[in-house]
């Protein structure tokens, strides 16, 4: 359920079920020390951020927390920005930071940044003393609509993305839309790919709204973005409530991700220092590949694929596999996807816009044909 004050902010999405939490959406939330501090049960706080976000917002959050509770002991752990930092080594360094801080079981980790920070910080929270609290403070559109919600945490290894992790729902999520003003245009587009995904998997009307509002969203209109964030979080919250551990329906949220993760891993993870596809861009390409495979399997019409491609292009997102990636190598990466069972490919495909489903035992030859173009 989504609620809002009389002037529209903040918007609140309640995540119910076995692990309830609250997603708060609006401007200025990082400065609301009272709201942030209410989720700290003890005295120890570790702020985890990255080298891009920390100079912009760590001081704001630290000062807000201290203003609300001057007894807090606050440490900071900063990662180099980029997916390449989401490693077991940096996870270990975060654990060391918790030990140095002296964090006890009532301590709290605040994940201040994008998906990389949220995933690694959440995993550290899941493991320190077998689980401490985590509050997600997403600063990218992608993390606001996807990775900060639902409690999936992980790091990458050489063999693939997000293969080492845990389910650890946050105590709360504060999506401060003011931070999107400093978000690079490419990162905004990456987040919009995940927003489009929600329309593609389960809401044809939302997909149509995204077609209509692409100019406002692409120009980062704050009120329109807030609506898109709230709608996306509502979709994810409804699914997570019913399937928190991804035993069934939650897998639908991975439309485009099996293909996309294979591209990211094979190409090398995107970072501020290279031009490789970032996560949202890889998911955009992955959704197109999933749609094309759905057509090849007789599940969907070609017209819906073309409509998806047109929408992604309208938002400036890629729709084709980057040059130089071998189809066989991508397929090999896909075999290690977490959704697979008994060594067989299990993919999220669709029967058209708004009608995704999980398809087991997908023929690898058909997948290879799609990867080969």
What amino acid positions are annotated as catalytic residues?
A: 130, 152, 194, 236, 246, 250, 254, 257, 261, 279
CA 15 to chain CA centroid, nearest Å: 16
User: How far apart (Å, rounded) are the C-alpha atoms in residues 19 and 150?
Assistant: 9
For 348, the token pair is 């999220």
For the chain, what is the HEC assignment?
A: CEEECCCCCCEEEEECCCCCEEEEEECCHHHCHHHHHCCCCCCEEEEEEECCCHHHHHHHHHHHHHHHCCCCEEEEEEECCCHHHCCHHHHHHHHHHHHHHCCCCCCEEEEEECHHHHHHHHHHHHHHHHCCEEEEEECCHHHHHHHCCCCEEEEEECCEEEEEEEECCCCEEEEEHHHHHHCCHHHHHHHHHHHHHHHHHHCHHHHHHHHHCHHHHHCCCHHHHHHHHHHHHHHHHHHHHHCCCCCCHHHHHHCCHHHHHHHHHHHCCCCCCCCCCCHHHHHHHHHHHHHHHHHHCCCCCHHHHHHHHHHHHHCCCCCCCCCCCCHHHHHHHHCCCCCCECCECCEEEECCCCCEEEECCCCHHHHHHHHCC
Q: What does residue 286 show for φ and ψ, rounded to 5 degrees?
A: -60, -40
279 contacts: CB under 8 Å, gap ≥ 6: 83, 115, 142, 190, 260, 264, 270
**Is the link from the previous residue into 113 a cis peptide, with omega within 30 of 0?**
no
- Are 284 and 317 in contact by the 8 Å Cβ rule? The answer is yes
């Amino acid at each position: 359920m989504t609620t809002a004050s009389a002037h529209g902010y903040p918007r609140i999405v309640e995540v119910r079920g076995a692990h309830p939490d609250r997603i708060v959406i609006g401007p200025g939330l990082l400065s609301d020390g009272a709201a942030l501090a209410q989720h700290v049960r003890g005295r120890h706080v570790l702020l985890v951020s990255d080298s891009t976000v920390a100079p912009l917002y760590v001081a704001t959050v630290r000062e807000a927390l201290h203003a609300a509770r001057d007894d807090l002991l606050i440490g900071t752990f900063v990662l180099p920005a980029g997916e390449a930092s989401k490693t077991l080594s940096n996870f270990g360094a975060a654990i060391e930071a918790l030990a140095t801080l002296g964090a006890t079981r009532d301590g709290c980790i605040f994940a201040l940044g994008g998906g990389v920070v949220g995933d690694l910080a959440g995993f550290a929270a899941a493991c320190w003393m077998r689980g401490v609290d985590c509050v997600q403070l997403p600063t990218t559109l992608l993390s606001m609509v996807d990775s900060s919600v639902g409690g999936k945490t992980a790091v990458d290894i050489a063999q693939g993305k997000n293969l080492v992790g845990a389910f650890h729902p946050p105590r709360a999520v504060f999506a401060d839309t003011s931070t999107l003003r400093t978000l690079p245009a490419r990162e905004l587009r990456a987040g919009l790919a995940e927003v489009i995904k929600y329309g593609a998997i389960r809401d044809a009307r939302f997909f149509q709204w995204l077609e209509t509002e692409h100019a406002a969203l692409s120009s980062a209109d704050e009120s329109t973005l807030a609506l898109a964030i709230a709608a996306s979080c509502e979709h994810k919250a409804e699914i997570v409530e019913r399937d928190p551990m991804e035993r069934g329906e939650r897998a639908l949220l991975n439309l485009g991700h099996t293909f996309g993760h294979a591209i990211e891993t094979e190409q090398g993870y995107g970072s501020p220092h290279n031009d490789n596809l970032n996560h949202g861009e890889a998911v955009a390409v992955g959704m197109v590949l999933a749609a094309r495979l759905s057509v090849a399997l007789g599940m969907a019409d070609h017209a819906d694929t073309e409509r998806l491609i047109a929408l992604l292009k309208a938002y400036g997102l890629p729709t084709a596999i980057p040059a130089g990636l071998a189809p066989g190598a991508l397929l090999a990466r896909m075999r290690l996807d977490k959704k697979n069972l008994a060594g067989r490919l299990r993919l999220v495909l669709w029967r058209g816009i708004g009608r995704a489903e999980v398809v087991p035992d997908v023929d690898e030859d058909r997948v290879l044909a799609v990867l080969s173009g």
